[in-house]
Amino acid sequence: MALADDRLMEDAGFRISEATAGDFFALLKPRVMSLVVFTAFVGLVAAPVSVNPLIAMVAILAIAIGAGASGALNMWYDADIDAVMTRTANRPVPAGRVSPGEALGFGLVLSALSVMTLGVLVNWLSASLLAFTIFFYAVVYTMWLKRWTPQNIVIGGAAGAIPPVIGWAAVTGSVSLESVILFLIIFLWTPPHFWALALFKSDDYARAGIPMMPNVAGQASTRRQIFAYALILAPVGVLPWALGYTTAGYGVVSAVLGLGFVWYAWKVLRMRDDDRAMKPAKALFAYSLLYLFAIFAVYLVDCVVGRALMMGGV
């Protein structure tokens, strides 16, 4: 009886949802969200102004939900290409667990809620930046750049790089050069990170018709561009120390991490055209995740320890 009801409803264009809270949580792209939360937290702690811990927690929560909302909007719009890629085929929308309409509604409601919460409870500069980030990721990157140009993740990477600036703005009510450098580190890290992935997942991207760099410019060109970005990223990672924002400890660790990045990118550059296993590209992809986490963690520790030493009069 119930099954017959189901069929009648579906024929009539209705569908009773079987989506669980877990499916909706998956729409938020929790792994991406964790990186956003961490980098926003670093921006928030690095700011030279103290803030009530509860306000700080609310700011991080709102930024996390805003990032999740843009992920849900991305999954709504990209359901067609997610369905043909092995990496994304099991996402809630292409797998049929959440309807596109539900994903869209969920994304829009959370977008509005996160921006309003940040604006009302923290400040409107950070809320404006969060709104811009959601718009940039969902509309500029997802709807426009991703299917149009191999520079998609270069330009679109700006959306993923803004969280530390939002964290900084949430505390200070302004944007400074220090937070812009944190933005730059993530912005320059994004192309080599995603192009390393695109190298060993190029078949997937080709099947979905996404113009990723290896599919458009070829693998050799992509490997050269990865190396070029690594050469720019390594010194930019050291900039916070060079400009006097951190101690030499950060300078040393970030320089070593940067050299490691260049080394892995060099191995990708030297990768042979007929290398099917693509171990250097996989190694760079894994190392790039470690690099970003490590450099922000060291920056965070440096800020906290530096402040503690100053308060202690050392």
Partner 1 sequence: MIVADKKLELVTLTERQKKARRNRSIAIGIALAALVVIFYAVTIVRFGHHGASLTSSGLLGGG
- Spatial distance between the Cα atoms of 25 and 47, rounded to a whole number of angstroms: 30
DSSP character string of 150-198: TTHHHHHHHHHH-HHHHHHHHHHSS--HHHHHHHHHHHHHHHHHHHHHH
Is there binding between residue 61 and partner 1 (CB under 8 A)? yes
Is there binding between residue 50 and partner 1 (CB under 8 A)? no
CB of 171 to partner 1, least distance (A): 15
- Which amino acid is located at 36 in the chain? V
- Spatial distance between the Cα atoms of 213 and 280, rounded to a whole number of angstroms: 17
Binding to partner 1 (CB under 8 A) within 90-109 occurs at none
**Closer CB to partner 1, residue 5 or residue 203?**
5
Among 121, 139, 294, 301, binds partner 1 (CB under 8 A): 121
**Closer CB to partner 1, residue 114 or residue 142?**
114
Is there binding between residue 52 and partner 1 (CB under 8 A)? yes
- Spatial distance between the Cα atoms of 126 and 132, rounded to a whole number of angstroms: 10
How many residues does the structure list for the chain? 314
Is there binding between residue 277 and partner 1 (CB under 8 A)? no
**Closer CB to partner 1, residue 166 or residue 185?**
166
Is there binding between residue 17 and partner 1 (CB under 8 A)? yes
Is there binding between residue 217 and partner 1 (CB under 8 A)? no
Is there binding between residue 310 and partner 1 (CB under 8 A)? no
Among 7, 11, 13, 54, binds partner 1 (CB under 8 A): 54
Among 7, 11, 13, 18, binds partner 1 (CB under 8 A): 18
**Closer CB to partner 1, residue 127 or residue 265?**
127
CB of 98 to partner 1, least distance (A): 11
Is there binding between residue 20 and partner 1 (CB under 8 A)? yes
**Closer CB to partner 1, residue 22 or residue 312?**
22
Query: Cβ-count burial of 249 within 10 angstroms (0-12 exposed, 13-18 middle, 19+ buried)?
Result: middle
Is there binding between residue 1 and partner 1 (CB under 8 A)? yes
Among 7, 11, 13, 16, binds partner 1 (CB under 8 A): 16
User: Contact positions toward partner 1, by CB under 8 A?
Assistant: 1-3, 5-6, 9, 16-22, 24, 52, 54-55, 58, 61, 117, 121
